[in-house]
């Protein structure tokens, strides 16, 4: 569930960025008294996410605008279908249009790409996860969209979980030392440890790791690593996994596959506002 106050604050900042001192074009072409109704139309097959953000953009400029959604977040919609409509002061609708669409196209794009990855591994044990490779200040929206796409979000921030990565290990001196320190200071939290070679797996698990992350392993290397772990802890794969290879990685036996592309490379969904 999105935090309404956080959404309103983000939308207000986006409107301020776009509006500046005023919408010059709308102010000189649209009568102040005019009213309008607009439909949000899907131009492609997509997974819906972020409808409340679009609504917040329109209602920020016209609090009395009537919002009539036809879609719920997580739904699959097809080209030519209406996600929802908004009715209110014409100037407000036109001024808010770009901000509303920018957010909605992005979140639907993330959810749509996520669902493609989720569908690609259906029938395997692997679950798709996102990463912290998100757009600054939009992480809460992007991770919400990932959930709407059917994936399992990873930690939302550095304060949410312990994940020992390669640079922690380099500074600590070894996988074993970094893991021992992490476990000692974890205060009961699970510790996930990134490994770059199969040989590091036993060091991590013996030092107390609760999960291992296989970084940039090939599919064949993942099979070997999963066999080496032998079910002692869950296994996550990360690095270089594409839509055309994710099924192969999933069939190699990991529990999770982390895909940064879900948030950093998702194409915007094609959605338009069509004024009646």
DSSP conformation letters of 112-148: HHHHHHHHHTTTSS-EEE--S---TT-HHHHHHHHHH
212 and 136 inside one domain = yes
> pLDDT value at position 153?
87
Annotated active-site residue 98? The verdict is yes
Provide the 10 A C-beta neighbour count for residue 207: 21
Residue 32 shares a structural domain with residue 143: no
Identified catalytic residue from 12, 98, 116, 155: 98
Question: Rounded CA gap, 202 and 170, in Å?
Answer: 18
CATH of the domain at 33: 3.90.1170.20
Task: Provide the residue-wise pLDDT of the chain in tens; the chain has 276 residues.
Answer: 899 999 999 999 999 999 999 999 999 999 999 999 999 999 999 999 999 999 999 999 999 999 999 999 999 999 999 999 999 999 999 999 999 999 999 999 999 999 999 999 999 999 999 999 999 999 999 999 999 999 998 999 999 999 999 999 999 999 999 999 999 999 989 999 999 999 999 999 999 999 999 999 999 999 999 999 999 999 999 998 999 999 999 999 999 999 999 999 999 999 999 998
Residue 166 a catalytic site member: no
Q: What values do phi and psi take at 253, rounded to 5?
A: 105, 10
Q: Rounded to whole angstroms, what are the CA distances from 191 to 129, 174, 213?
A: 17, 16, 11
Q: 194 an active-site residue?
A: yes
Q: Tell me which of 97, 215, 236, 247 is the catalytic residue.
A: 215
Say yes or no: 92 and 175 in one domain. Answer: no
Q: Catalytic: 215?
A: yes
User: Is 172 found in the same domain as 40?
Assistant: no
Do 130 and 231 lie in a common domain? yes
Domain that holds residue 180: 122-264
Q: What is the pTM of this model?
A: 0.95
Q: Are residues 237 and 210 in the same domain?
A: yes
DSSP 160: S
Number of domains in the chain: 2
Task: Specify whether 127 is located in the same domain as 213.
Answer: yes
User: Are residues 138 and 104 part of one domain?
Assistant: no
113 and 46 co-located in one domain: yes
- pLDDT at residue 155, as a whole number: 92
CATH code where residue 170 lies: 3.20.20.70
Task: Say if residue 106 is in the same domain as residue 128.
Answer: no
- Find the Cα–Cα–Cα–Cα dihedral 222, 225, 231, 232, rounded to 10°: -140
Task: State the pLDDT at residue 276.
Answer: 84
């Amino acid at each position: 569930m999105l935090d309404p106050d956080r959404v309103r604050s983000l939308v207000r900042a986006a409107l301020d960025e776009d509006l500046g001192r005023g919408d010059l074009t709308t102010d000189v072409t649209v009568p102040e008294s005019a009213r309008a109704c607009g439909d949000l139309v899907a131009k492609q097959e997509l997974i819906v996410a972020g409808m409340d953000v679009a609504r917040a953009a329109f209602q920020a400029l016209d609090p009395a605008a009537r919002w009539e959604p036809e879609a719920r977040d997580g739904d699959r919609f097809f080209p030519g279908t209406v996600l929802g409509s908004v009715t209110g002061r014409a100037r407000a609708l036109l001024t808010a249009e770009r901000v509303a669409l920018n957010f909605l196209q992005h979140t639907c794009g993330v959810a749509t790409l996520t669902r493609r990855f989720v569908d690609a591994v259906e029938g395997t044990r692997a679950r798709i996860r996102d990463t912290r490779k998100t757009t600054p200040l939009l992480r809460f929206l992007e991770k919400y969209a990932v959930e709407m796409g059917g994936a399992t979000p990873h930690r939302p921030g550095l304060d949410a979980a312990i994940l020992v990565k390669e640079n922690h290990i380099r500074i600590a001196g070894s996988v074993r030392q970094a893991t021992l320190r992490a476990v000692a200071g974890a205060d009961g939290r699970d510790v996930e440890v990134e490994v770059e070679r199969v040989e590091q797996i036993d060091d991590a698990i013996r030092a107390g790791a609760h999960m291992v992350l296989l970084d940039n392993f090939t599919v064949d290397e993942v099979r070997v690593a999963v066999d080496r772990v032998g079910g002692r802890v869950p296994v996550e794969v990360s690095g270089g996994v594409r839509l055309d290879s994710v099924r192969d990685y999933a069939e190699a036996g990991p529990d999770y596959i982390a895909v940064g592309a879900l948030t950093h490379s998702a194409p915007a969904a094609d959605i338009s506002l069509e004024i009646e």
